[in-house]
Amino acid sequence: MLAVNTAFMTAYLALSTPKGKFYKTLDAKSKHSENVLKSIDDLCEEAGVDVLDVGTVAVVTGPGSFTGLRIGVAIAKALGCVNKEIKFVSLSSLELLAYTIARKRMADGDFACVLNALSEKYFVAQFDKDGNRKTDDCMISAQELDKIKVPMFGLAGDTKLELTEVSLTAENLLSFAEKKEEEKQFVLLSELLPQYIRLSQAEDNLKKAKKISKNS
C-alpha cells in the first residue's frame, strides 16, 4: 500500500511492502508539486519495489489545501490510469486527525477536530472518544467555533486558536489507511475527488464581484 497526504503544509508519505514499512515526511518549506513524486520514487527504491506494483493507494482527499489536495489526487489517478488493478481508498483529513487523537488516547469523551480554512474560517467535525464520526465536515466562522462545547484539537501550528495541538506522522497515516483497507472501504477511481468544502479564492472573488454587480 502507498499512502499519500498532501492536504497540509507538511506532506506525509508511507509505503507498506512485504519487506517492511517505509516513511517520508516533507516539511512545510518543500514544494509538494516538485518533490512528492520524487519522494515516492525514493521510497519505492528504498523498498525495492516498483510503484506500479502497489496494490492499494490511499490518499487524503480533504478538507485541506486546494493545491495539496489536487496533487495527491492527481498522483493517485495517474497510477490508476497505468495500472487498472490498483484499489483506492479516500481518506478524510479530519478523520485522520481524530484517529490520531483516539490512538494516543488524548480525549476522554466527545471532541472536535479543527483545521484552518483561512480567512477566519475553520473546517470542523465532531467525534467520540474512539474517533468515530458524530457530525459531517463543515466550514464555520470563528464566532461559531466559540459555541462548540467539547474539547477542540487541531494540527500543531495550524491555527492561533486555544486548542490542543496534535502532531501527525507518516506512521499514523499508514495505520489509518490500512484500517480502511481492512474494512474494504474502497472507492472507484472516478470517485476519488478532492473535498474542497469552501470555494477557492478565485471563485470566492468572482462570487463577490457578481453580487456587487447585481446590487449596483
Span 72-98, pLDDT tens digits: 999 999 999 999 999 999 999 999 999
Pairing of strands 20-26, 152-155: unpaired
| Predicted pLDDT at 102 | 97
Say whether pLDDT at 143 is over 90.
yes
Fold exhibited by the domain 95-166: Nucleotidyltransferase; domain 5 (3.30.420)
pTM of the model: 0.89
Run of H or E including 83: none
| Domain boundaries of the chain, sorted by first residue | 2-92+168-201, 95-166
More confident of the two residues 30 and 169: 169
Say whether pLDDT at 46 is over 90.
yes
pLDDT band at 214 (very low <50, low <70, confident <90, very high): low
Give the pLDDT confidence of 169-189 residue by residue, as tens digits. 999 999 999 999 999 999 999
Segment 47-60 shows an average pLDDT of 95
Give the Cα separation of 13 and 143 in Å (integer).
35
pLDDT band at 207 (very low <50, low <70, confident <90, very high): very low
Say whether pLDDT at 203 is over 50.
no
Q: Which CATH architecture has domain 2-92+168-201?
A: 2-Layer Sandwich (3.30)
When the pLDDT of each residue in the chain is averaged and rounded to a whole number, the result is 90
Which residue type does 115 have? L
Say whether pLDDT at 142 is over 50.
yes
Give the Cα separation of 139 and 63 in Å (integer).
10
Question: Among residues of the chain, what percentage have pLDDT more than 70?
Answer: 90
Which residues sit opposite 95 in a β-bridge?
A: none
| Predicted pLDDT at 34 | 82
Q: What is the DSSP letter of 187?
A: B
| Predicted pLDDT at 215 | 58
How far CA 35 is from CA of 13, 68, 131, 168, in Å, comes to 11, 12, 32, 19
